[in-house]
Amino acid sequence: MKPSLVGDIGGTNARFALWRDERLEAVRVLVTADFADPQLAIAHYLAEQGLAPGDIAALCLAVAGPVKGEHFRFTNNHWQFVRSELAAFLHLQPADLLVINDFTAMALGMTRLRPQERLEICPGVVEEDCPAVVIGPGTGLGVGTLLPLGGGHWRALPGEGGHVDLPIATPREAQLWQALHAQLGHVRAEDVLSGSGLLRLYRALCTVDGHSALLSSPAQVTAAALAGDALASSVLEQFCVWLGRAAGNCVLTLGARGGVYIVGGVVPRFADFFRSSGFARGFAEKGSMSRYLDGVPVWLVTAEYPGLEGAGVALQERT
């Protein structure tokens, strides 16, 4: 039996694996900047596994951006592809090439989490017949919705929730928004709630409070905050509060009492800080609807490859 190929491609990294017997094999992470297009990256991965393009039974690509039509252009990197050309390159029938939004895959990946692959942030009880929210800062901000269909089956709804307006709830946040607006014009949630957004927030806070911006990367901001630097700590705290506001808004919009999963590569780097931060306050501060958020569980996902797992689930659900 030929294996299938699954891929989870974000703005910075492309993760590939073989999918055989409902599990991942031979996971490999490639840097998107090292390849001109996904076709070359796939060919490189297959060659590393001793496989040719015609040696796979199907392909599911989870991609960062809205999925529609023949031509796909990635939101946060230089890659693009045409479905029919990619299928022909891999000797696949069109029906055997599945292209889904990366947070559709991420949402489906939540169905395969093991207990040790998530940390409790807000306690609560899952309402089994309700949607769950999957939200994650990475190169951008991804948002997905997981719907239970019964009988062990699931449906994930794609969307571009990372591009909604940044939620403002306090005069302090309005000041920071003004500094961001002066630089960006329209301010999306992703403009703050992402890796590059953390540095952008640091610079905005320095502008508002009259500090010199001495740090020059998101990693430096995180490291300084974890080392106890008061300025960097306040930046990271505001980041967590804003992520809480965005996640709470999703719960209200979707009726997502099935829980919230925080994913992506950013937050696990400061998991202990996050657990004690104002995230829960930002999550629940919804005025007259604050009680609605009571009992909605929130977890920080620490699984290594949930997007790849979800791409495999998508292949299973397709058949």
pLDDT reported for residue 319: 62
Please name the amino acid found at residue 272. Answer: D
pLDDT reported for residue 237: 98
Query: Residues annotated in the binding site, as ranges?
Result: 7-12
CA–CA gap between residue 265 and residue 125 (Å, rounded): 26
For the domain made up of 114-302, give the CATH fold: Hexokinase; domain 1 (3.40.367)
Is residue 150 scored above 70 in pLDDT?
yes
Q: Give the C-alpha distances (Å, rounded to integers) separating 130 from 19, 165, 240, 302.
A: 29, 25, 25, 23
CA–CA gap between residue 81 and residue 124 (Å, rounded): 42
Is residue 179 scored above 80 in pLDDT?
yes
CA–CA gap between residue 65 and residue 105 (Å, rounded): 12
pLDDT reported for residue 74: 81
Q: Which residues contact 181 (CB under 8 A, 6 or more apart)?
A: 187
Digit-coded pLDDT (tens) for 19-70: 999 999 999 999 999 999 999 999 999 999 999 999 999 999 998 777 888 8
pLDDT reported for residue 69: 81
Dihedral sign from CA coordinates of 33, 161, 276, 232 = positive
| In the block, residue with structure tokens 């306040």 | 234
Digit-coded pLDDT (tens) for 208-237: 999 999 999 999 999 999 999 999 999 999
Tokens of 7: 């891929």
The DSSP annotation for 131-200 comes to -EEEEEESSSEEEEEEEEEETTEEEEE---GGGSBPP--SHHHHHHHHHHHHHHSS-BGGGTSSHHHHHH
pLDDT reported for residue 70: 87
Q: Where are the domains of the chain?
A: 4-107+305-318, 114-302
pLDDT band at 159 (very low <50, low <70, confident <90, very high): confident
For the domain made up of 4-107+305-318, give the CATH fold: Nucleotidyltransferase; domain 5 (3.30.420)
Query: Residues annotated in the binding site for ATP, as ranges?
Result: 7-12
Digit-coded pLDDT (tens) for 245-275: 999 999 999 999 999 999 998 999 999 999 9
Strands 13-20 and 141-150: unpaired
pLDDT band at 143 (very low <50, low <70, confident <90, very high): very high
**CB-side neighbour CA atoms (13 Å) of 223:** 6
pLDDT band at 1 (very low <50, low <70, confident <90, very high): confident
Nearest to 131 by CA among 253, 290, 267, 7: 253
Is residue 75 scored above 80 in pLDDT?
no
